[in-house]
Every structure is written in C-alpha cells, then in structure tokens.
Structure 1
Amino acid sequence: MDRKEWYLEYEIQINRPGLLGDISSLLGMLSINIISINGVDEGKRGLLLLVKNEEQIVRLESILQTMETIKITKIREPKLRDKLAVRHGRYIQRDADDKKTFRFIRDELGILVDFMAEIFKKEGHKLIGIRGMPRVGKTESVVAASVCASKKWLFVSSTLLKQTIRNQLISDEYNANNIFILDGIVSTQRANERHWQLVREIMRIPAVKVIEHPDIFVQNSEYTLEDFDYIIELRDHPDQEITYEVIQRNNFLNDEGFGGFDY
C-alpha cells in the first residue's frame, strides 16, 4: 500500500525541554515518518507525516490526547495551506467569511508565489482573481509562480510593459498547460468584441486563468465573483485599502498606451 501524507498540528500547553523529542520518539514507535516540521503560529507546531495506514493515525491521536503538555488542534489529510504553513513557518491569512479569499502583504511575496505555483500545478480549470493597488507586485508574482510551476504564461490583456490586448491566439497557444493572464481593467475599458470572444474561448479551456482586478472584470462582463475559485488580495501593508479611485483620476491609460494603474 502506498504511504499517505497527514498533517498534525498541536498547541503547546506546557513548554518543557524534550517535548519535541518525546513526540518524535512516539512517531518512530508507531512507524510514522516525519516529512517536515515547523512552528506555524505562536505556541503551535505543525508536522507533515507519512503513514502506511489510517490505523497509525488513530493510535497516534489516542495517545497524544492523553498528554497534558500539548493539545491537538488539527489532524487531517494536509491541505495546501497546511503544507505552506510548515514550509514557511506561518499560515496564509484567509477571510473569515469568504473562504476562497486569501490575503498577502508585499513582504510575503515568496509565500504568495509558492501558493500560486501549487495551484498552477493542478490540472483543469481554475479561475483566480487578484486584487491590489498599483506596483504592489501582482503581475510579477503571477509570472514568477508560472515559472515555479514550469508553466508557460500568456498575456491576453496587460499593461506590464506596454498595453496588450489580444484578439486571437495562434494554434499552439490553445494549450491547457498554459497560464492565461488578463487585466480586468484593460479588457473592460479598451477591448473590442473580438477580444471578448477570445476571452470566452479561453474560459472554456480546462486551464488556469488569472484575472487582475476581478471586481472591474465582473462589473462589465457576464461573469461573477462566484465563478472564481480563488481571490487573492495583495497589499503593501495589512491596513492598506484597495480602491479603484486612481483609475478615474488617471483615466487609466494615457495616450501612449501605458497604464496609470498597472502591475
């Protein structure tokens, strides 16, 4: 039988020397391997485990529940957030009311790239929206995540280097292994019907699509925020407000076609 990954997280109740050694010894006695271990929150430790069967987990949980020094907070098959928490030593911030919205600040670009790369590696349709103010690192993070996932990225609409509005793709670009990147503002304010026909074609491809400024995109299209699988918010600092007033102030694109609201 193939071994299976599990995630164990516990909160330290009594922090005494040798606690981690005791737990490691217990895992060894149960023939459970530790893949990785790290602190994931203040007073909490997370472990990625490799087990032969679920009976090992049942026995482990039963024994750990008798220990006064720790309190089990999670024991389950690992989710993406669990793996990233162990890898980076902290949990990704998630909206309490909208579970598909994840929040990052600029100092966490490494975690953001890792998070998106893991999503990009999955097969099939995924629609991802990214909110953020100008020059906070949205487009660069998407491109970096594409590289990490060994995927080719295609700008369908963008202002990264110059205004890009695609009306068609060449045959090789209709590939489910590609990452399709759209700027919701460019597509809604500067594109024609041919571009929107291309957008609809891309939406039918079982591939990853990333929409920057998803709120503007859905206001001017037949798509809704419910169609998105993930919404990512990227800020310079935790208290920064994401607002689109700068669009009206700068009329978005100047005569040379470069964005006042870019990246």
Structure 2
Amino acid sequence: MEKQEWYLEYEIQKNRPGLLGDISSLLGMLSINIVTINGVDQGKRGMLLLAKTEEQIVRLESILRTMDTIKIVKLRKPKVRDRLAVRHGRYITHDADDKKTFRFVRDELGILVDFMAELFKQEGHKLVGIRGMPRVGKTESIVAASVCANKRWLFVSSTLIKQTVRSQLFREEYSDQNIFIIDGAVSVRKANEKHWQLIREIMRIPAVKVIEHPDIFVQNSEYSIDDFDYIIELRNNPNEEITYDSMYKNQLFQDSEFEGFDF
C-alpha cells in the first residue's frame, strides 16, 4: 500500500528539552515517517508525515492527546497552506471573511510563487484572479509559478512585453497542461468579439486560468467573482489600497498610453 501524507500541527504547552525527540520516537514506533518539520507560528510546530494506513494516524492522535506538554491543533490531509507553512515557517495570510482570498506583499514574492505553483500543479479547472497596482510583480509571479509547476504559460491578453490580444489558438495550445493568462483590463479595453469567444472556449478547458484585474474582467463580462476558485491580492506594502482610479485618471486606458504598460 502506498504511503499517504498527513499534516500534524501542535502547540507547545510545556517546553522542555527532549520534547521533539519524544514525539519523533513515538512516530518511529508507529512506523510513521517525518517528511518535513518546521515552526509555523510562535509556539507551534508543523510536520508533514508519511503513513501507510489511517489507523496509524488514529493511534498517533490518541497517544498525543494524552500528553500534557503539547496540544494538537491540526491533524489532517495536508492542504496547500499547510505545505507552505512548513516550507516557509509561517502561514500565508488569507481574508478572515472570504476564505478564497489570499494576501501577499512584494517582499513575499517567493512565497507567492510557491503558492501559485502548488495551485498550478493541481489537475482540472482552476480560475485564479490576481489583484494589484501597476509594477507590483503580478505577471512575473504568474510566469515564475508556471515554470516552478513545469507548465507552459500562454498569454491570451497581456502587456508584459508588447500588447497581446489573441483571437485564436493553435491546435497544440488547447492543452489542459497549459496555464492561460488573461489581463482583464486589456481584454475589456482592446478586444473584439472573436477574442471573447476564445476566452469562453478557454474557460471550458479543464486547465488553470489566471486573470489579472478580475474586478474589471467581471464588470464587463458574463462571469462573476463567485466563479473564481482563488483570489490573490499583491501589494507593495500591507497598507496599500488596490484601486483603479489612478489608472483612469492617468488615462492608462487610452490607446496612446495603454500600449506596453505592464499592470
């Protein structure tokens, strides 16, 4: 039987020498392997474990709950946030009211790329929106995450290098292994009906689609924010407000200034 991964997170109640060794010995006696271990918050440790059967995990939990030195916080199949917490030593920030919205600042681009790469590795349809002000690193992060996930990226609409507005794909580009990148602002401002027909076709492909400026995109299309599986917000600093007012005031949507602008 193939081993399965589990995530254990516990809070230290009484920190004493040898505590980690005791837990490691217990895992060894139950034939459970430790894949990764790291502190994930003040006074908390996270572990990725490998076990052959769920019964091993049930026995582990029952023993750990008898220990007065630790308190189990989580013991479950690992989620993306769990893997990243162990890898980077802390949890990524998500909106308390909207669980599908995750927040990053520019200093956290490495964590953001890791997070998106984990999403991109998943099979099937995923619709990801990314908000952020100009020059904050949205497109570059998407491309870097595609590389990390070993996926090919395709710009359906973009201004990263030059203005891109596509109205058709080559046959080999209709692949569920591709990452389709759409700049919602470009599609709304510059595209024709053929481009929107292509977007509808892409939406039906069981693959990852990433849409920059999702709010502009949904305001001018038949899609809604509820259609998105994840919303990512990227800021220069935690207090920065993401707004499109400055773009309109600076006439960034006018033809003369829009071309070649990376936002």
Q: Same fold (TM over 0.5)?
A: yes
> What letter is aligned with 1:208?
V
Identity between Structure 1 and Structure 2 (%): 76
2:254 is equivalent to residue 217 of structure 1: no
Counterpart code for 1:249 = K
1:37-58 superposed Cα distances (whole Å, 9 cap, x missing partner): 0001111000011111112111
Report the equivalent of 1:74.
74
CA-to-aligned-CA distance 1:73-92 (integer Å, 9 cap, x gap) = 00111111111111111111
The root-mean-square deviation of aligned C-alpha atoms, in Å, is 1.2
Any unmatched runs of 5+ in structure 2?
A: none
Which residue is equivalent to 1:61? 61
> Which secondary structure does the structure 2 equivalent of 1:71 belong to?
strand
2:30 maps to 30
Moved over 2 A (4+): 256-260
Q: Quote the Cα distance in structure 1 between the aligned partners of 2:173 and 2:251.
A: 32
| 1:5 match | 5
Structure 1 residue 258 corresponds to structure 2 residue 259 = yes
Counterpart code for 1:170: F
1:258 positional shift? 2.5
Partner of 1:128: 128
Q: CA shift at 1:257, angstroms? A: 4.4
What corresponds to 1:85 in structure 2? Answer: 85
Structure 1 residue aligned with 2:174: 174
- 1:203 and 2:203 aligned: yes
The answer on whether the counterparts of 1:188 and 1:220 sit within 8 Å (CA) in structure 2 is: yes
Report the CA distance between 1:259 and its aligned residue. 4.9
Moved more, 77-86 or 247-256: 247-256
Q: CA separation in 2, counterparts of 1:220 and 1:37?
A: 46
Separation of aligned partners in 2, 1:250 and 1:256: 9
Q: CA deviation at 1:117?
A: 0.9
Amino acid at match of 1:153: W
Instruction: Write the distance in 2 (CA, Å) between the matches of 1:258 and 1:89.
Output: 41
Corresponding letter in the other structure for 1:69? T
SS of the residue corresponding to residue 255 of structure 1 reads helix
Given the two structures, how large is their TM-score scaled by the length of structure 1? Answer: 0.96
Give, as a single letter, the amino acid of the residue that structure 1 aligns with 2:102.
F
The Cα shift of 1:208 comes to 0.8
Match of 1:156 in 2: 156
TM-score by length of 2: 0.96
* Distance in 2, Cα, partners of 1:248 & 1:255: 13
Q: How far, CA to CA, are the matches of 2:170 and 2:9 in structure 1? A: 48
Do the aligned partners of 1:146 and 1:152 also contact (CA within 8 Å) in 2? yes
Deviation string, structure 1 residues 6-42 (Cα, Å, up to 9, x no partner): 1100011111111111111111111111011000111
Deviation at 1:204, TM superposition (A): 1.1
Which stretches in structure 1 are left out of the alignment for 5+ residues? none
Aligned to 2:118: 118
Contact persistence 2:136–2:234 (CA under 8 A): yes
Which amino acid in the other structure matches residue 256 of structure 2? D
Q: Name the residue aligned to 2:140.
A: 140
Q: 1:4 to 1:215 in 2, by over 3 A?
A: same
CA contact (8 A) 1:252 1:259 kept: no
Query: What amino acid is aligned across from residue 141 of structure 2 in structure 1?
Result: S
C-alpha distance in 2 between matches for 1:58 and 1:81: 23
Checking the alignment, whether the CA contact within 8 Å between 1:39 and 1:90 is kept in structure 2 is: yes
